[in-house]
Structures are given as C-alpha cells and as structure tokens.
Structure 1
C-alpha cells in the first residue's frame, strides 16, 4: 500500500472513531480499531477540554468533533487532494503554531501537513491542548509509520523547514519578523459578515443565528457584522436571533454581555439590544462578544466593491444570491476540506517545499 493511500485510510479511520461522539449521543460503535483503548479516554479528554476552557461547552466541543467526523471520510479526502501534487517533494519538518479560539481550530493544518507526507511540529494554544495530542496518538496506532512524525512542544520552536502560524494582527507582525527566513503561511484576524437585502425569510434569520452565536462568536467564520439597506427595520433580524436566547445562561457569555453593554452605555453609543445580543452601528469588522456591528448601504454595487477592497479582513460572506463565493445562511461553521482559511491553499504551499 503506497504511503498516501495508507495516510488517507488512517484519517478515514479517525473519522470513523470520531463518529461515535455527536451532540445527539456518545455511543460506542462496533468494529472501530483500538476502541477499547481510546473510546473512554477521548470522553475524558472532552471533559478536560471543557474544564480547562469554559468557552468549550459540551455542545460546542461535540459540534466541532461532528464536523471533523463528517469531513474525514475517503470520498471527501480523495476529492480534496485529487488536483494537488501530494508527496512529490522530499519530506520536510513543518511547524504549526495554533490558535485556541474554537475546539480543534488547528486540525486542518495538522491534517494538511501529514497528508502531504511531511512531519509536523505542533505548538498548541494553552486554550485548546487536550484533544489533538490524543487524536494524534490514535493516528499512530492505526498507522504506526506516523510515529516520530508528530511532535508536540511547549518550548521555543527549532529544527523546522517551514511554518504555518495563526494569531492576532499583533502576533502576526512578530511571526512575520521571526519566521521571515522560512517558507510560511501567517494568518491574521479575520471576521465574517452577512449581507441583508430585506428579502430574507424567517428561516434565513434563524440560520443566521447559528452563524452569529456558534462558538459564542469566537471563530473567524462567525458573523460579527451585518450590512443592511438604508432605513432597515431590525425586527426580522431580532426575531431570527431569538432562537438563540438561552446563550445568556452561559455565565461567561453573560458577563461579557453585561460588561460590553455597560461600556457602550457609558460611552453613550446608540445600541439596540434584546437581552442577550447588542447591535451597534460601526465601520469595524471585529465586534466584541455578545454584539454584532452593522453598517448601512444604499447601493449594492458600492457594497460589492467595499467587500472586495476589504477582502483581507473577511473570512466568509453570508448572503443569498448577492455575490460570488458567498455562503448560505447557517453554513459558515460547516467548511469543507477545500475551504481554506484566508483563501490560502495549504496543500499547494506544502507541495512546493
């Protein structure tokens, strides 16, 4: 069995393993390799991940796991790599510096490096350090040739040939300086937006609630800003958001809501709010937790030009027949393997090393 086939098969097996953990139920399946060794252990890691980072609720953890379980099957994996020049170059050691804003946020980079036949040196965020080492151990069991190719470190990175680093705009400046001598992908802050035209259905707004509130809005694929026509009545928007009202029962979210509301009121900003979400007119893309910014537009072509000009700040555009490459309402948190962060093709980068 050639190496790429065996790696694809290993990740397919990992997908089958993860399939046992869904938001509907956690249930042990038959015929999962090494399940007696790993099933209960992974349940425990999920518990530890939630205790270590209270943004990682059980619901959000299982949502992330479910997404990866669906992606990691042979059909998706083969479709993803079919046009790429996988494994044509010699093996390199690729360092990944991961963010920790949502569960397993660095998994796509990890997968890309290993599928490409390289070794990986991982520096995790302290906010998300429980799940990936455990899943890496599972991969080593189903494909022993990966042993020695996956290293986790908390030390200063050394001995690597290329780097993929994700951070804030501030850390990106540091990364760009520090890694300037190596091939690199350096990702900065991005946010997602939705374009409201006034023709949306009730269902569209219900779905948009998922784009806004999933992971408490902490992901780069979370909608943090909406563009609305001049004179827009926000009633429909707030009705759609109401489906998510129980989010205020999360203590950490509620604290952020109260704090940001106090800041806005003391600054005498005009805000609209419904008890768990505030909206504020603002030209920025990155809104604080529990708030969404909005901006009026009076010309669709001008808005399209603006979105194009600001594309370096935008991860996803949610809309309904408005612009090319838009994402349907409710779909931002269901990326495919070929939906690359920042639009940079990781496999292409890795093939050229």
Structure 2
C-alpha cells in the first residue's frame, strides 16, 4: 500500500479534472423553465460555490458537494485534500460547516479496499479539524479513484457572502499562493522534488476557516474560493456576476516560490490551456507584464485554493487583523481592485 501511486490511476489531478467552462455552460442550459423558490437565496442562477436556503429564522442552510480524482499519490493525503477542498465551499460563503457525507468511487479491480479505507480516514481527519462529523456517505465501483464530500453548513443571513456582489472601488485579496496545478503536474510526471512535495501537501491541507470570520465583516462585499478554473476564471465569474471589471497587479499575486522552476521545464497542466482559451478574450495586459509567464500562472488550476474576496477600502482595517491572526501575514496586500467594465473585463498590470 505504501508504494501505490494514485495519480497514475487518474487522467487529471484534483480540481484540474473539472469539465471545461464552455462545456459546463452547455450542459447546464435547459429549455425547462425553472421553478421559483423564494427561500432559495443562492442557486443555479449564479456560478457560486454552494446553494443557500433561507431557514426563516435569521439563518440559512449552505449545501455543497465537491469530489475529484487524486492530486497526490498518498491515499491518506488524497482524502484530506479532497475533504478540505469540499469544506472550503462553505467557508467561501461566510458560513460554518456542520456535517459532511463521503462520496467514494473506487476501481475495486485495480486498488484494494485497504487503500480506500486510508482515503476515508484522511477525509475523516480533516472533518475533525473542521469540527464536524463525517456522518455517512455513498460509494460506487468506478474506473478511476474518486473522493470528496457533500457538506452542509449554516450562516447568519446577513453574513452570507456571494461571488456576484463586488462593488467598484473594492480591493481584491487572495489568501493562498498560486502554483498548485504546476507542482501537482510535476509530481504526476515524476519530476517534483521532495521539499516541494512537502510544500504542496501542506498548502493543499489548509482549511479556509478565515472565510467564516470574513463573513461577519459587512465591508467584505463578495467572496469565492479559487479552484479548477484558476485565479483568472474565478475572478472572471466574480466580475461578470457583479457587472464590474478588475485591475490585477501581477507582481502582488502570490505564487509558490518553486513553481516557476517547473514552468521552465514546461510542466503545465492541460487544464491551464483550457482555462486560458475560455477567458483570454476578456483579459488584457499592460506593458511590462511577462505575458507568457502570466499565461501559465493566472489560469493554473488550483485545488483547495485560497479565498478571493472583494472588500471596501474602509473595511481593510478590519480584515488585516483577521488575516494576521490566521497566519496569513503574506496575504495582507491587495492583489488588485474592482473597476468599471472596460474593453477587457480584466486588465493585468505589472
């Protein structure tokens, strides 16, 4: 079991196996008129992280599901990472997770039940860190190993954060560095150095608990987590939903230090090109930006990525202490700001 390499049993890696944005849009189109549920505060009408249902007592139920194929080889770590990624959707809405159910797809003819047990144990350990029970689940026999969670959470309705409510003038913050997709691709191809594997696993294990605290700040106008569509894709969803634009200061975008050395070897996830093709027509670059490097960094598919949030400049003095108290001292500088829509919805400055 110690020698198993789970990534060799999957075609993708973590959130990089998401269906392409254009294909997903086609799948979600329907000729059936949707029913109206007045209690549904967030649903399919927006590209948000979770569904939210008003319970009518000043609180709302958050419901989400997320699962994927292995991003690392170790079964226990795969379970932890997939669980942390799923729970992040609740934090991204400003909520508190309360319960999870496991989703397991397992190729029983290729991988032993003991390995699947380690995956579940990893998921359970992250649920313990989040203070919630892994209360059950469902499993099926599949051709690739798949694991994730269905997670429920609660939120005070006036603390609910959506991804389509950014306002012009807001400052943009990101709570984790980019580069997860690059490092995981290097691992899948047998070229990731041991110290960088430690860095990768450490980041992938980190819960986005600060999202619940940010939910209580009125000046945090919009929030989402950065996953398979990369920073550029999830920022685009936020800006399109809010009918705004964005100016990104590329030099302020946090990136895992070693990621660029793997870029030099062209260790780029296939999903990076997919993401760039989906969003590039709406992205412009100012003089001085290394466009080729930015092409590989900004669309890099993240798994359990950081929280991207838009905050009123007057509320930054409330936000920074929370970031510092949660060990996010490297993420207290804004990466950009929300602007009016221009010819290009997102502009990237040096």
How high is the TM-score relative to the length of structure 2? 0.30
State the structure with more CA Rg. 1
How high is the TM-score relative to the length of structure 1? 0.30
> Which structure has the highest strand share of the two?
2
